[in-house]
Amino acid sequence: MSLKIGDIAPGFNLLNQDGKRVSLGDFKGKKVVVLFFPMANTSVCTNEMCSISDNYEKYDKLNATVLGISVDSHFSLKLWAEKNNIKITLLSDFNKETAPAYGAFYDVFVPGALDYKGVAKRSAFVVDENGKIIYVEVLENAGEEPNYSAIQDALK
């Protein structure tokens, strides 16, 4: 399923890196940037989450919360966040329900080399205060990062 601007963002209830449940509904009345990423401890994912983390005040000033979601376990997300000083909330879609609901899911990741089944596509969604999607970016190439300027523009 492919989400588009104007759609209601699918809800989720996932464990964060500290093992606490977090749902999209927890942020009602606030904008949310939902960033899906393929795998913790990989170079591009680390660069993306560290970049967002280092610039978090920009998102905070725009009344936005940033959530990073992957299919990694919350245990591995915690270790990765601590190792890299990632300050944003990371969520585990270990059961692989949320990424497919957003259309941000590889059936096979790196076919012919890794052949991992069910990995989140690097994607960015901005959800407004009412739960509607106001920005969508789903990248087919996991080596690319989202357009941070476009995300910030959508938040304005």
Which residues carry out catalysis? 45
> What would the two tokens of residue 98 be?
């949320």
Contact between residue 110 and residue 88 where contact means Cβ atoms under 8 Å apart:
no
For every residue of 38-107, DSSP letters joined together read S-TTSHHHHHHHHHHHHTHHHHHHTTEEEEEEESS-HHHHHHHHHHHT--SEEEE-TTS-HHHHTT-EEE
Q: Which one, of 130, 126, 149, lies nearest residue 4 by Cα?
A: 126
